[in-house]
């Protein structure tokens, strides 16, 4: 990931936490608010629209401590997707999605997202490779 240009890839990683004092929608809205200079209402609308598209509209008002691992992952994913970069890198999804069969979950989320990045890459532990190979 370090060799990728910053403007080409968005990262979802267990090492990039959500801000615990903000809701999922607010965490996602920070991107258009500060990087693209949208006003707060428009940034919040974009964030909620993205959550709806991913099928997780109900987590908009939840804060990190109130989310389960799947919801937390979706908030992180939406935060990366709102960057609208051509490549999405998901690092160690098993460390974030330990409560569900995550290769299928990732495919389901990718199928829901219109305008998905050209390339989704998953970097996982070698011992998890059979999880991807069999599906």
Write out 32-76 in H/E/C secondary structure. HHHCCCCCHHHHHHHHHHHHHHCCCHHHCCCEHHHCCHHHHHHHH
Per-residue CA distances from 41 to 32, 35, 46, 130 (Å): 11, 15, 9, 44
Can you tell me which residue has the tokens 């960057």? 83
Query: pLDDT, tens digit, for every residue of 22-32?
Result: 999 999 999 99
**Model-level pTM?**
0.87
Which homologous superfamily is 9-133 in? P-loop containing nucleotide triphosphate hydrolases (3.40.50.300)
Q: Where is mean pLDDT largest: 32-36, 73-77, 95-99, 103-107?
A: 73-77
Q: What pLDDT does 1 receive?
A: 47
């Amino acid at each position: 990931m370090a060799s990728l240009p910053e403007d080409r890839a968005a990262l979802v990683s267990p090492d990039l936490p959500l801000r615990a004092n903000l809701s999922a929608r607010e965490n996602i809205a920070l991107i258009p608010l500060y990087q693209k200079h949208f006003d707060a209402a428009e940034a919040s609308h974009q964030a909620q629209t993205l959550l709806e598209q991913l099928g997780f509209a109900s987590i908009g008002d939840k804060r990190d401590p109130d989310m389960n691992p799947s919801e937390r992952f979706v908030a992180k994913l939406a935060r990366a997707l709102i960057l609208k970069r051509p490549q999405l890198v998901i690092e160690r999804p098993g460390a974030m999605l330990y409560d569900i069969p995550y290769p299928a979950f990732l495919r389901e989320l990718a199928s829901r997202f219109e305008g998905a990045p050209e390339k989704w890459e998953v970097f996982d532990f070698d011992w998890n490779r059979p999880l991807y190979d069999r599906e």
